[in-house]
Amino acid sequence: MDSSAGEHGMARSGLFLLLTGLMWRFGGACPESCTCTISRIVCIDSEPGIEDFPVLTLDDMENITEIHIANQNRLFDLSDSSLRHYINLRNLTVTRTRLTSISSDAFFNNTRLQYVNLRDNNLSTLSWRTFQNFNITFPLLLSGNPLDCVCENLWIKLKLQEEADSPDLTCTDDRGVTRDFATLTPPDCVVPTVEVTPKNVTEMEGGNVKAVCSASGSPAPVILWNLDMLSTHYEIDPSDTESILTLTGLSSDDNGRKIVCSVENMVGQSEATLELNILFPPAILQLLPPERNHHWCIPFTVTGNPKPELRWYHNNTTLEEQDFIRTIIHEYTENEDHGCLQLVNPTHIHNGKYRLVVKNEFGQDEKTVSAQFIDPPYFNTTEPEFGYSFSDPSLPPLDDSVAVSDPNLVYVVVGIAGVALTGCVLMVIILKYGRNSKFGIKGSSSVISNDDDSASPLHHVSNGNNTPSSSEMGPDAVIIGMTKIPVIENPQYFRNSGSMLKSDTFVKHIKRHNIVLKRELGEGAFGKVFLAECYNLVPHQEKIHVAVKTLKEASESGRADFYREAELLTNLQHEHIVTFYGVCVESDPLIMVFEYMKHGDLNKFLRSHGPDAVLMADGQHSILVELTQSQMLHIAQQIAAGMVYLASQHFVHRDLATRNCLVGENLLVKIGDFGMSRDVYSTDYYKVGGHTMLPIRWMPPESIMYRRFTTESDVWSLGVVLWEIFTYGKQPWYQLSNNEVIECITQGRVLQRPRTCPKEVYDLMLGCWQREPYMRLNIKEIYSMLQSLAKASPVYLDILG
């Protein structure tokens, strides 16, 4: 218990040092009269004072959510340059200053403002345009200012009539008399109103439309039509109280467009719209050859109003859509529909011409594209042996004399068939027993996957474009429902990594006598991992703790893999990748030296700091503090940073999970795997063919079915890692067997939102779990989103009860 309390004391000290560091970070830019933290600026000291808002680094200003300024005698005005870069500002207080004027665009970039306190300054007039982006439901406090009782300030009365600040709000009339702002009624001062006639127009393409925008108000308002991006030719005929818009030759590109007429004067603004419904015949904008993603797809884009009916023809025969061949619309817009004809596992009988016909009441259009999904099989002209008949009705019937014209041909065919049958039997025997043969014949798993369990999980992506064949069946196949899916080696990874490594790679060699083993940490397929002390490794420290990974088998191939992995790891240098120090190859066993991460793997750490921590302590009720939401986001942000780096180096991890991340002091998290997780966390892996270990609970559909691993598949795994973090280390799909998990993932199901997970984080997970790889979030986007969430106050996160 004392040890645990000590650890938490160190954690608190680390947090204090972190906050102190953040304060020093702003030290160079924060004015002397102010105090700056990562999200807040406070300037209340009058001496020496400030003349404008503090100018910090761009990143630091974007992180600020609250600014409090008071007692500043040299602050006279605010302009758009004052707050331009404080884009995440939510709360603003400027009080007891000499603030006299605020420009109309001062808050143009501060779209997240929720609270503005401008009490006790020297403001006499304020334009409504200054606050046009400010939500009218949020507080705006203005009492204590010498406001004038003029028309320009009437909008304040209308804005604040329901707010608590309004009873204290006063103004001074032209005679110098102070009046209650609620009684302000300046002459010739009326909020503008607007009406557009007609409001909705339905007209054929090429037709003409005339609309009138009528306005009233005092002073006389200015009338403006917003015609940006309008394709149709237009003319405007303005007058004092109305503006006539004439559209000629209506373009179908403007269908569904809402044209805004706005009127404004010094009291305020009002808007009305004209909506265009333009009728036009359908057109096929594009019809592309088939593309293969998860399924085959013939992409198309069509337009038309009303929406056209779609009909497909295959080789001039109407195509009846079913579950395995159907039209899917991916994106609807006002004018265009983007979609595809999806075909699930098409064969040679689906080859041919595909014609798309689109039709509505004003016309039709059609286009044709050729499709070749798979080469047709070769069919012998003799009658099939098992009663199946393949024939083409367009071909003439076979001449029976051809089959019997040469009796010797029959004996040759029978002889060839006998030899082929014998060969097939021998092949089956070799495949069945060859894997463990004393002659060293390797089974299909060796061919299907070159990945040894002891190999590093990181893989460099090459530019190979070989496509795996889904017909390569073997004992390493995965059963999905009634379908047997072969486990195919991903062809995108290097086989000879030497060409992929930097030419100047230098692996540091460490002397054996400088390594002192302390205790064993674990054991994997490759060998053992030890905690050790290493002398003379880093400057200014005589010795440091390190993790030592040994190589069990020093065969020629094992040594080659060892050196290759050492070169690979030497090139990976990042603050959130476990540091690789070097190797020791003076004698067996061969050794790799890594930095030692005090708290072990992240999965164990999460479980020991979650609600079930006491249950896992085996009766030893140690005091363990449950992780907070901000700490979870901090962990996730660090892992994402490491993955951004790996992606930038064109490396694919393939086994990203909390078990393969390590935790050090002060909640420092790094990606790293000593290869022990396949033994320690054996239930996390699905053993295929007695050799290959697949982390299917972390894998996307394309990796399970086709062994296709990319940066996008790592993004899927990162989403699962987020789920692990917010469930305190639970196993994904823990209630299901491995086969049930495969079924769920390949059918499109995803993990449910954890009880304590913010909606924003779960939305991010869903962005990682898009079925199509190209639709998943980019790894940099994920890192940026996690950064923003980690910086935001918890009050802005939606938490499930």
Nearest to 590 by CA among 620, 558, 622: 558
Confirm whether residue 524 is marked as ligand binding: yes
The DSSP code for 75 is: -
Q: At what angle do helices 711-726 and 759-768 cross, to 10 degrees?
A: 150
Confirm whether residue 207 is marked as ligand binding: no
Tell me which residue has tokens 């405007």. Answer: 236
Q: What Å distances lie between residue 315 and 286, 296, 609, 627, 630, CA to CA?
A: 19, 18, 63, 62, 60
The DSSP code for 658 is: G
Q: Which of 365, 601, 655, 673 is catalytic?
A: 655
State whether the Cα torsion 163-168-169-174 is positive or negative: positive
Token pair in block for residue 754: 């954890």
Which H or E run contains 218?
strand 209-218
Confirm whether residue 28 is marked as ligand binding: no
Residues in CB range of 134: below 8 A, 6 or more apart: 107, 113, 116, 140
Confirm whether residue 442 is marked as ligand binding: no
Residues in CB range of 401: below 8 A, 6 or more apart: none
How many Å apart are CA 622 and CA 5, to the nearest integer?
9
Q: What angle do CA 527, 530, 535 make, to 5 degrees?
A: 125
- State the SS3 of 490-543: CCCECCCHHHHCCCCCCCCECCHHHEEEEEEEEECCCCEEEEEEEECCCCCCCE
Confirm whether residue 525 is marked as ligand binding: yes
The DSSP code for 144 is: T
Contact status, residue 391 vs residue 382, Cβ threshold 8 Å: no
10 Å CB burial of residue 308 (0-12, 13-18, 19+) is buried
Amino acid type, 617: A
Confirm whether residue 494 is marked as ligand binding: no
Contact status, residue 346 vs residue 295, Cβ threshold 8 Å: no
Active site residue 228: no
Residues in CB range of 797: below 8 A, 6 or more apart: 629, 758, 759, 760, 789
Confirm whether residue 522 is marked as ligand binding: yes
Token pair in block for residue 26: 């702003």
The annotated binding site for ATP is made up of 521-529, 549
What positions carry a catalytic annotation?
Answer: 655
The annotated binding site is made up of 521-529, 549
